[in-house]
Every structure is written in C-alpha cells, then in structure tokens.
Amino acid sequence: MPSGHENDDEQVLDSIGDAANPGTMTVCPDETLVDALDPTRALIVGGEHRRGGAGLFDVEDPADRRVIAAVADADRRDAIAAVDAAQAAFAGWRALPPRSRSEILHRAHALMLRDADDLATLVTRENGKSFADARGEVVYAAEFFRWFAEEAVRTGGDFGPSPAGGTRTLVTHRPVGVAALVTPWNFPAAMATRKIAPALAAGCTVVLKPAAETPLTAIAVVRLLAEAGVPDGVVNLVPSTDAAGVVGAWLADARVRKISFTGSTRVGQLLLRQAADRVVNTSMELGGNAPFVVTADADLDAAVEGAMVAKFRGGGQACTAANRFYVHTDVVAEFTARFGARVEALTVGPADTGAQIGPLISGAAVDRVTALVADAVATGARVAATAAVPESKGWFLAPTVLADVPAGAAILDEEIFGPVAPIVAWSDEEDLLRQVNGTEMGLAAYVYAGDLGRALRLAERIEAGMVGVNRGLVSDPAAPFGGMKQSGIGREGARVGLEEFCETQFFSVDWPV
C-alpha cells in the first residue's frame, strides 16, 4: 500500500507541475536558523557538540554565492572518535525493545513535521532548490521515520523442522553493528533519514558524513533526533571536506560493519574496493540515466505533466531525474510543443522570490551541463524551448528542451544533473529498447502509454530498478529504492531497507524424535 506522504509530496510539487501557477509558498531566510545550529561546533560525537580537528569550512548559498555558515571540519581523528562513541552506545541501543525504538522514531517524524518550514528554509539556503521542492523533500524525509518506526516492531524470523528430522531450525535477525552513512548534497534531508531511520530501527548505531556542500540540514536533523530521545552516541555527525580521509578511516576500522553510500558511480566503485579489504556489508545507491518513454497512444497531457515533475524536481539534480526523452514519431512534435510551452513558463530564481527552479549547486555544474548542451547542438540537436534566467551572481541555468537529438549525442550517455531535457524520436520498439538499455546505468525509468498492458510489458523489459508507469514520481518510503547494473547494490525503503542493516542468524536446535 502507498505511504501517507505521497499526496503531500505531490501537492508541494504542484508549483513545478503547473508552470502557469508558480504557487504562493515563499521563504524568508532567517539568519537565526543557521546561528541556532552552532555550525562551528557541528561535530556531534557521543552527544557532545565539538569543533573539528581540521578547522572550519564555508557553506555557500548557490543562489547568490554568499557564505551562509562556517562549519566545523572533521579530520580522521574525529572520524575515529565518532566510531568510539557509536561502538560504546551499540550494546544499549541494540538491547532497547523494538517498541521503544519505534516510539523514538515516531517522535522524530512528528518533530520534523513540526519544523518543516524551518528545515525547508535550511535546504533552500544551502542547496538552492525552490521552497516548494524543499518542503516536499522534508515531508518525504520525515516519512522514513514513520515508516521505519512501524517496521521496527514487525520482527521477522522463521522456525521449523529440518527435512531429515531430529532438529529444529530457528532463524532470527540481529543488527549488523556500527553503520557508516555517507549522503549527497541534492537531498540533504531525505538522503539522511532514508539511511538513519532503518539503521536505528534495526538496532544499529551510526556515524554520518553529510556532503560538504549541505551540512546544515544534517545538523538540524541530528539535533531533532536527540530531542526525540535518541541516546547520546547512537547517531554521530561528522561533517568534513576530507571525505576520502573520513570514510577511509571508517572502512579501515574493524568496528564499522556497514557502509551505506549515495553518490556517484565513480566514488561508489572506489568505496567498494576499500570495503572489499574487510568484506564490509555495503549498500550503494549510485548514478542514474533515466529514460522517459512516450508511446503513440499515450495521454499527452498526463505525459507532459509527468515530464515536468520527473525532469524538473530539484532543478533536474536528482539521480531519478528523467535524463533522456524517447517520444514516438507520431506524437513527438505535439509533445515537444506542449512540453516546451510549459518549460518556457517556468520561473527561475532564488527561493525567496517564490521561483519554481533554483540554481545548480556550483559553477562547475553549470559549466558541465552547458558543455553537454553545446555538444548536442553541435551534433544536430536544436533548442526547442528555454525559460528566462535572472541576472544574478548565482549558479543559474536556463531550463531547456532540446529536440532532434541524434542517438549518439553525449548528453544521452551522461547523467545531466540539470534542467535540460533532450528529446529523441522513435518508431520501432525493439530499437527503442536497445537505446533505453544501452547504458551501464539502471536506476529509474518512466513509461507513458495509453494501453496499460503495453506499458507494463515495456516496463518489464527496461533494465532499471524502478519504473514509473504513467507517473513522474517513483520514490516512496514503502517501496524498495535502488537500481540495477552500475546504479547500485541493495535497496532503501520498504521492508528490505531494514534488512540491509541486519545479519541473518540461525540456531540448529537438537530435537529428538
């Protein structure tokens, strides 16, 4: 069954889905929100707020490139201190009854909703996304606490006679131990809670390294967990600009038995090699290159609506974002015109203006996406539509629709991570599937078709861990999030998300006949 967050999530995304109505939600940045976090003492180790061994690092607002906080910068010694605290807290947290852990997670859910506007403001300040997007993320993030609060008390196991007789097999599950969690900048609230919640529900303690671009939201979430009743040492926060040093120290520490990472495939490959040295339990949610398929009989109104959400949520800076649009030749002209009109109506600017699309995370990101667009145009694509971009010091990039994109264009092979939608026309289904599956990535995909049976048959042949069928959203705490091929290992969310933080153990019990 779907979880309760879906309707809330879609409501706050309406300002993207309905380009003619930019919505009324705006944010008034309040410096006291940042100051209250005491970012110069952002390390949270064993419940103590500390300065970092490496000094401080700046966090910038990508909408205007102003420094909004100086944050404690952890070094390898801080990383090991966090493991010390997590290991010391593990026995007590593991022994806590599942019902008690569940009640704490329920309180965390309520506290996140209580502070949803403030958390959304923090997200807009350090990440740049629109307030509607940011608030949608916070509601979604909070739902992981509720979902895993409910899963925490649904203990699994098995019992039965062995086939040969004379014994009974008792199967149980135990927490894996100290878990290292590494999260990206594009969803600073949701990527943290999607890992923290199942780890705590399973009985693990954690050390968390958020992205250096967006540590403030993580600080706020960890503070809320303490307010919810999480004991000192159970959740430890280690912001750092030395990701390799901190994570490397964790992977070399025999007390760390789990790493859960969300980020690029390249970094995931490096971490897998390091994890192999100690055979560390790993979960990897890596890069994507999501196709968005529109058949000749698709409802074009629905397809355009879904495309707006699948492409432009978070300004296209999502691993599940629609990356390549494959539209049947019979409807490609009409789809491009309708889609382009919606894109041209998008408002771009800082979150405090109520704009629907914010900046990219950095100047390097703008340069990379701009180069992909230029290459596509040089190889035969044409710019079918763009939105207006304000004059600003921020890292803004015009939402763009590219038509007539040739099959070999680099923009189809790389994860764009920006508000650009390349459209390819198709007519033969087998050739379509060859193009759709012709990548080492397999995280998400989208299919729009009038015949539901055909849509499902297409979805079954697409090599992706998640497929949105006639909808532009795939993420849900109640569903197993993850990909195939080089898009990752393991799943987050659903019951399997809890099992990722557990070890299976069985007892063979003598049972005389």
SS (H, E, C) 349-409: CCHHHCCCECCCCCHHHHHHHHHHHHHHHHCCCEEEEECCCCCCCCCCCCCEEEECCCCCC
What digits encode the pLDDT tens for the residues 171-214? 999 999 999 999 999 999 999 999 999 999 999 999 999 999 99
Residue 20 confidence class, pLDDT cut points 50, 70, 90: very low
Residue type, 360: L
Could you tell me if 102 and 182 lie in one domain? yes
- Indicate whether 439 pLDDT > 80: yes
> Cα–Cα distance between 113 and 129 in angstroms, integer?
19
Burial class (CB in 10 A: 0-12, 13-18, 19+), 381: buried
Give residue 277's Cα distance to chain centre: 27
Encoding tokens for residue 380? Answer: 């035969």
Instruction: Please give the model's pTM, rounded to 2 decimal places.
Output: 0.93
Find the catalytic residue in 126, 151, 213, 285: 285
Encoding tokens for residue 332? Answer: 């490609």
Q: Looking at the 3D structure of the chain, how many domains does it have?
A: 2
Encoding tokens for residue 32? Answer: 């006291």
Residue 187 sits in a domain whose CATH number is 3.40.605.10
Could you tell me if 306 and 269 lie in one domain? no
Give me the sign of the Cα torsion angle 498, 499, 505, 510: positive
- Indicate whether 107 pLDDT > 90: yes
Q: Quick one: pLDDT at residue 31?
A: 77
Backbone angles phi and psi of 182, in degrees to 5: -130, 120
Full residue range of the structural domain in which residue 67 is found: 42-286+487-506
> Cα–Cα distance between 349 and 351 in angstroms, integer?
7
Could you tell me if 238 and 155 lie in one domain? yes
Could you tell me if 206 and 294 lie in one domain? no
If you ran DSSP here, which 8-state letter would residue 312 be given? H
Q: Quick one: pLDDT at residue 156?
A: 82
Instruction: Tell me if 73 sits within 8 A of 56, measured CB to CB.
Output: yes
Residue type, 365: A
Could you tell me if 380 and 235 lie in one domain? no
Could you tell me if 281 and 373 lie in one domain? no
Q: Quick one: pLDDT at residue 55?
A: 98
Active site residue 285: yes
Residue type, 493: G
